[in-house]
Amino acid sequence: MPVTTIESRTIDLAELAQQLRADAVRCSSRAGSGHPTSSMSAADLMAVLLAGHLKYDFSDPELPGNDRLIFSKGHASPLLYAMLRAAGVIDEEELLTYRRLGSVLEGHPTPRLPWIDVATGSLGQGLPIGVGMALAGKRLSAAPYRVWVLCGDSELAEGSMWESFAAAAYEGLGNLTAIVDVNRLGQNGPTRYGWDTAAYASQIGSFGWNTIEIDGHDPEAIERAYRQAEQATDRPTAILARTKKGKGVAAVENREGMHGKPLPNLEEALAELGQGANIRVRVAEPEYREPRMERPGRSIHLPRFDIGSTAATREAFGRALVAVGDASPDVVVLDGEVADSTRTAYFAEAHPERFFQCYIAEQQMIANAIGMQALGWVPYAATFAAFLTRAHDFLRMAAIGGADLRLAGSHAGVSIGRDGPSQMGLEDLAMMRPLWRSVVMYPCDANQAAHLTATMVDLPGISYLRTTRGETPVIYRPDELFPVGGSRTLVSSGSDKVTIVAAGVTVSEALSASEQLADIGIPARVIDAYSIKPIDVSTLRQAAAETGRVLTVEDHWPVGGLGDAVLDAIGGHLPSIRFTKLGVRGMPASASPTEQLAAAGIDADAIVNAARRLAA
């Protein structure tokens, strides 16, 4: 089956596949590491895709009509880079920099290369992200692109894959094709079903997918399967391709113990593969060439809450989100079947075409957001703070890939009350702070929450807003500004003996405590550290230097949250400061919000007692 190259000659697809194998072997051998055998099994699959079905303008990677190709089995990166060489966008010299210091050809793909949309390598994530891209194509965009995802059979053991199979079938994503490289061998021995493609077809087909079983080394069978996938416009297609790991080199073909290793003899392997071809494939460009979406100028009219009233910060988040959506046609909102609780239901009512109900599938919710932002959309994703822990690996990988995400975790801390510890987000600050380029914010009142919700729309990286279930006093005016990296000093005097640093629900407790402390002759400075990362280092250091004592109080475990952020800011610079950290130290149970704060030792009385000991 011939293909046309830029030299205007034809070449057999099998020869192109051998070139891809040879290049994968060569770059892995030069690096002394990598996964050539995992690349060799899928070479025929990718040769047919590259030569005849992928529609992509490599000179304009952001073109809305481009198909999207995701290597969910990211360890097969040598194959991906070999495809880029065959497409003429990298040369042999660059290919051989694979895995070397300073090279953009990393061990697993990242968007440091302009033709790669998302970082992959943690298995089970590429297909869920592909679902998000396909969902955007079906519901948000007029661009008729197709999403192709190369999967490995080992990753079919990941639960996130089955979340994506369910979601794609439910949404009828006929623009999504999963190409499963069933090569039988995992890192350590055979996979669960080996070459039994019928077992996979039965399981995936039960979700409503179109399934096709083929010999993954037969170009004609692969060609037919791709055409069938393109014609199945009402549902997604999974192509289950039986392949051999290490295909083409007898020393490694279908042999255990060769995963993640260069081939033992490079010259013999290249001779067996018939290396010598130098094929360049003219990849078809998309017919749809409308201009990409332009970012709007934003004029956001936020909700206003009166000082002296009470309101939940989750309520302010939901109402502010509507205002952000009114001003921003590129904003989309995703929820994990808790829209009434997170208050994203307001956005769903105002902008239903840009609201995505992801159900109780937090990994898929975050994957959808990652896929959508890669295509230029601006996603906000919300669920209970506690449940975001299920998707932390997706967030870790999103950070590696430079994704821009806006997350909201509601029902944080013991202050939610009687639902008990399974619903209390007590780890979320510690989970979000270490993420690369993350911003972590914890508002204490409704106007602050509304402002920070709007601020997130233009923040790069992963930003996280922690919201509270119960109502808190409104202490700030609606027009006040709260810059990222800032704080607010709410109580201060020249004779302060202790600094109390609080955030969120503990701010009102700290204010109450400061009044009680003033009555007993212990003036206390109160700082609202609403920006936990980046934290207001200069204000904290100045307060610590002037008072000599710092007390932090947070509705969170004492590890990794506000207290540690403050200690990081001042500890090594002012070693003589006396420091006390209040947080939730015992396992909570069901109780009222007031009882919970008291039992956890983070209410006003606990703050007073801790400040008295610190000031003694």
Residues taking part in catalysis = 362
Task: Report the distance separating Cα 393 and Cα 561, nearest Å.
Answer: 19
Nearest to 412 by CA among 234, 529, 561, 513: 561
Phi, psi of 509 (to 5 degrees): -65, -40
What phi, psi does 5 have (nearest 5°)? -110, 170
Contact yes or no for 406/457 (Cβ under 8 A): yes
Q: What are phi and psi of 110, to 5 degrees?
A: -140, 165
Return all residues near 520 (Cβ < 8 A) that are at least 6 apart. 612
Nearest to 23 by CA among 265, 277, 282: 277
Sorted by sequence, the CB contacts under 8 Å of residue 82 that are 6+ apart come out as 19, 20, 21, 23, 24, 27, 39, 43, 95
Residue given tokens 């694979």 in the structure block: 98
C-alpha 366/C-alpha 363 separation (Å) is 5
The full 3-state SS of 48-115, as one line of letters, equals HHHHHCCECCCCCCCCCCCCEEEECCHHHHHHHHHHHHHCCCCCHHHHCCCCCCCCCCCCCCCCCCCC
Output the 3-class SS for 391-423: HHHHHHHHHHCCCCEEEEEECECHHHCCCCHHH
The sign of the torsion formed by the CA atoms of 451, 303, 409, 391 equals negative
What order do you get walking across the sheet with 147-152 strand by strand?
68-71, 147-152, 176-182, 237-242, 210-215
